[in-house]
Amino acid sequence: MEKRWVLKQKGDESLVSGIAEALGIENALAELLVQRGVTNFEEAKSFFRPDLAQLHDPFLLNDMEKAVDRIERAKELGEKIMVYGDYDVDGTTAVALVYSFLKENGFQQLDYYIPDRYSEGYGISFKGIDFAFEQGFKLIIALDCGIKAVDKVSYAKERGIDFIICDHHRPGDELPDAVAVLDAKRLDSKYPFDELSGCGVGYKLIQAYAQTHNIPFDTLFKYLDLVTISIASDIVPIIGENRILAHFGLKLINTNPRPGIESILGVANIVRKTAEEIRKEGGDNGLLFSRELTISDMVFVVGPRINAAGRIESGRNSVKLLVSPDMETAGSIAQQINDFNTERRTLDTQITLEALDLIDKDKKLRKARATVVFNPNWHKGVIGIVASRLTETYYRPTVVLTQSNGLITGSARSVKDFDVYDAIDACSDLLEHFGGHKYAAGLSLKPENLELFKERFNAIVSESITDEMLIPEVEVDLEVNLNQIMPKFLRILKQFAPFGPGNMSPVFMTRDTVDSGYARIVGKNHVKLTVYQESVRSAPYSGIAFQQGGKFDAIQQGQSMNICYHIEENEWNGVKNIQLNIKDIRFSDEG
C-alpha cells in the first residue's frame, strides 16, 4: 500500500541551537527534543533523567480522599473487599497491583474478581455484583472499568455494596453513584495529567493510601512493573507521568522482575544471562537478561500472553500469575498461559483469513470507506486482534462483530486522526453498551439493530473521514545525511526511550542512497541491504526493509532511493552495529 510521507515542521532555530549548545549535542538531536516539547536545559534534564518525585499528588484526583476514607473504614469494620477488574492486560495488572498492596498492608477480608469475557462481557456485570452480595462483600474497588456503569453501581447500592471506581475511559453524561469516582477524564477534573492507564489510576490510589498512612514511598516501587506493562499494552501516551512510571518500571523488569513476569519471559525464550555471558561483559552490568527489555517487549511478548488467558479461558489466571510468590508457582501458570497464547494465534490467523475473504468477495465492502464484518461463529476473544489486522490491510476504520449470549458484540479499530469512539457514540441509540478510546472501542447491540448500525456507521465515516486519512502515513521527524549517524548520535538517541505514543522512536529520512550491491531477500518478503550516500561519502550502513520484497529488483539494480527509517542497534555474536530499520522506500524518479 502506498504511503504518504509527512515531514514534521522544524522548531525555532534559536531554540534548537540554544538547547544544542546547553547540552553539548548536535542540532539534529536538539531538533528532536524541541519536537517533544523540550525547550530548555531543565526540561531536557527532566526528559533524560525522569524522577519519581515529579509524580503528581494523587489527592489532586477528584474523590481521592473519599476513596481512602472508605478503604480505611472497611479495614476498621473488617468488611470484605472485592478488587474487580477487566479481563485485559490493563485490568488484570491493575487488580494484581491493588490486591497485592492491600494484602501486604494488613487487609485480610480480600479477594479479586475478573468477569468472564463470554458470559459477562466487558466491565462491571450484574453477575459479578450478585456474586459479591452472596459472598458478603461490602466494598468493590473497580479498576479499568465502571465509569459508565450507572445502573450496575445503583444495583449494588441497593444490595448494600459500595463502589470505588478507578477508570481512565471517557465518562458518559452521568457519573455512577459510587463512593468515589477516580478518573482524570471527568469533565470536572483538575488533575494535571489525563492519560493514565487503568493500572496507573490504581497506582495513584495506593500512593494516596500510602501517603495517608506514612507507608514509605519506596515500598511502592515494586509495583511499577505492573504499571509499565499496562502502559505499554493499553497504548496510552508515554509522556508526563506515564514516561516516569515506564522508565522506572522497565528498570525493575530488567533487574528484578516478579516471578510471574520472569516466567512469562521464560516461556517466550527470554531467559537469564549465563555465567559465560556475564564473563564476556566483563562483569554483571545489572541487567538480568541477555538483552535490555523495552516497551516493545511488553507490547509484543508480555502483553499478549497476559491477554491470552482472558481471551481463551479466564483472566483470573493472569492475576494468579502476576501475584505468584515464587518461580515454581508462576512457572506452571505461565506455561498454561503460553499455550493459551498459541491457541489464540491460531484462532486470530484463521478468523483474519475468513474476514479478508469475506471482504474480497463483496464489491461494495471492498470499496467502502469503513469495514464492518460479522460472523456469529467467530471467537469473541480474538476479534479485537482481527480488527487490528484488517485495519492494517485496508487502512480504514474497522468493526469486527460476532454473536455471544444473544447479543452481537464487537471491537473497533481506527486509523490516524479518525475518532472511532465518536463515530460509535453517534450510533449509541442502536447499542446496548459501548466504551473505549479514540482509536479502539468495544460495543454490543441486539441482532435486529445490526443492519441499521452498519448503515449508520458507514454513513458517519463516509461523511467525516478525508481521503488523506485513508492513506497510511509515515511521519518523518527529521531529514539527515548518513554521515551524521555516529555512535555518539545513537548513544544519545537511545536515551530518548522509553518510546511509545507521544514519544515514538524517531523516523529519519535520507535522500539519494543506493545499495552496495549485496541486497538479498530474507524470510518471506523482507529485504536485507547495505546502503550508502555517495554525496556525503558516508560509510555503508546495513538495513532491513520488512515486507518490501516487491522493491527488491529496483534496489538490486542500483536505483537511487529516498529512505525513511528508525536507527537501531543490532547485536550479533556479541558484536553491536548500527542498523537502519527501513519503514518505506521511494525511488528518486518517483519524487
pLDDT, position 275? 75
pLDDT at 417: 93
What is the residue extent of each domain of the chain?
A: 58-222, 362-470, 474-590
CATH T-level assignment (fold) for domain 362-470: Diaminopimelate Epimerase; Chain A, domain 1 (3.10.310)
Closest CA to 143 of 174, 169, 165, 173: 165
Note the pLDDT of residue 36.
92
Amino acid identity at 102 = L
Grid coordinates belonging to 59: 489527592
Answer whether the bond into residue 447 is a cis peptide, omega within 30°.
no
Grid-cell match 501458570, residue found = 333
Largest CA distance in the chain: 78
Residue closest to 231 by CA, chosen among 180, 299, 297, 179: 299
- Which CATH code is given to the segment(s) 474-590? 2.40.50.460
Measure the CA–CA gap between 153 and 501, rounded to whole angstroms. Answer: 33
Amino acid, res. 241: E
Do the domains 58-222 and 474-590 sit in the same CATH topology, yes or no? no
Q: Would you give per-residue pLDDT tens digits along the chain (591 residues)?
A: 789 999 999 888 999 999 999 999 999 999 999 999 999 999 999 999 999 999 999 999 999 999 999 999 999 999 999 999 988 899 999 999 999 999 999 998 999 999 987 788 788 999 999 999 999 999 999 999 999 999 999 999 999 999 999 999 989 899 999 999 999 999 999 999 999 999 999 999 999 999 999 999 999 999 999 999 999 999 899 999 999 999 999 999 999 999 999 999 999 999 888 777 777 766 666 778 888 999 999 999 999 999 887 666 678 889 999 999 999 999 999 999 888 888 888 999 999 999 999 999 999 999 999 999 999 999 988 899 999 999 999 999 999 999 988 999 999 999 999 999 999 999 999 999 888 888 889 999 999 999 999 999 999 999 999 999 999 999 999 999 999 998 889 999 999 999 998 899 999 999 999 999 889 999 889 999 999 998 998 889 999 999 999 999 999 999 999 999 999 988 776 677 899 999 999 997 665
How many C-beta atoms lie closer than 10 Å to residue 225's C-beta? 27
pLDDT at residue 314, rounded to an integer: 75
Nearest to 414 by CA among 363, 371, 364: 371
Q: Show the cell assigned to 244.
A: 516516569
Q: What is the pLDDT of residue 52?
A: 97
pLDDT of residue 576: 78
Angle between helix 89-104 and 224-233 (nearest 10): 170
pLDDT at 277: 75
CATH architecture of 58-222: Alpha-Beta Complex (3.90)
Q: What DSSP state is assigned to residue 283?
A: S
* Residues paired with residue 289 on neighbouring β-strands, in sequence order: 272
Report yes or no: 64 and 170 within 8 Å, Cβ to Cβ.
no
The pLDDT, as a whole number, for residue 590 is: 64
DSSP one-letter code for 93:
H
